[in-house]
């Protein structure tokens, strides 16, 4: 019985983690210069990422006069060898 409960717990925990995604936002205040950007903290959904982008745009571009760009990436990992993030998927 103890073995069964341990196995059931492991399966339930694994199933809960299998569908979870984390998101990172990348905001570029000037779409003509993509070397300047802001990165969000870890976010729970694509909608939360887009909300973060809207907040950044309100702060960095309050009058809406500059062209900006952004990306939202799922399950991103930072690669220090290349000084860049690698994501499973990016959307804008």
In-domain check, residue 81 = yes
Give the phi and the psi of residue 73 in degrees, each rounded to 5.
-115, 140
In-domain check, residue 84 = yes
CB atoms within 10 A of CB 67: 11
Range of the domain at 72: 21-91
> What's the pLDDT tens digit per position in 1-44?
344 333 333 333 444 445 689 999 999 999 999 999 999 999 99
Could you give the number of structural domains in the chain? 1
The pTM (predicted TM-score) of the whole model is 0.75
Please state, in angstroms and rounded to a whole number, the distance separating the CA atoms of residues 92 and 83: 22
In-domain check, residue 3 = no
In-domain check, residue 76 = yes
In-domain check, residue 56 = yes
In-domain check, residue 39 = yes
In-domain check, residue 1 = no
In-domain check, residue 27 = yes
> What's the pLDDT tens digit per position in 30-86?
999 999 999 999 999 999 999 999 999 999 998 888 899 999 999 999 999 999 999
Tell me the C-alpha to C-alpha distance, in Å, between residue 48 and each of 6, 40, 52: 35, 10, 6
């Amino acid at each position: 019985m103890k073995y069964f409960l341990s196995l059931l717990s492991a399966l339930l925990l694994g199933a809960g983690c299998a569908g979870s995604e984390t998101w990172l936002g990348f905001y570029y205040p000037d779409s003509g210069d993509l070397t300047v950007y802001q990165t969000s903290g870890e976010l729970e959904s694509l909608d939360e990422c887009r909300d973060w982008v809207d907040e950044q745009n309100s702060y960095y571009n309050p009058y809406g006069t500059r062209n900006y760009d952004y990306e939202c990436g799922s399950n991103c990992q930072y690669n220090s060898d290349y000084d860049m993030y690698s994501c499973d998927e990016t959307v804008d």
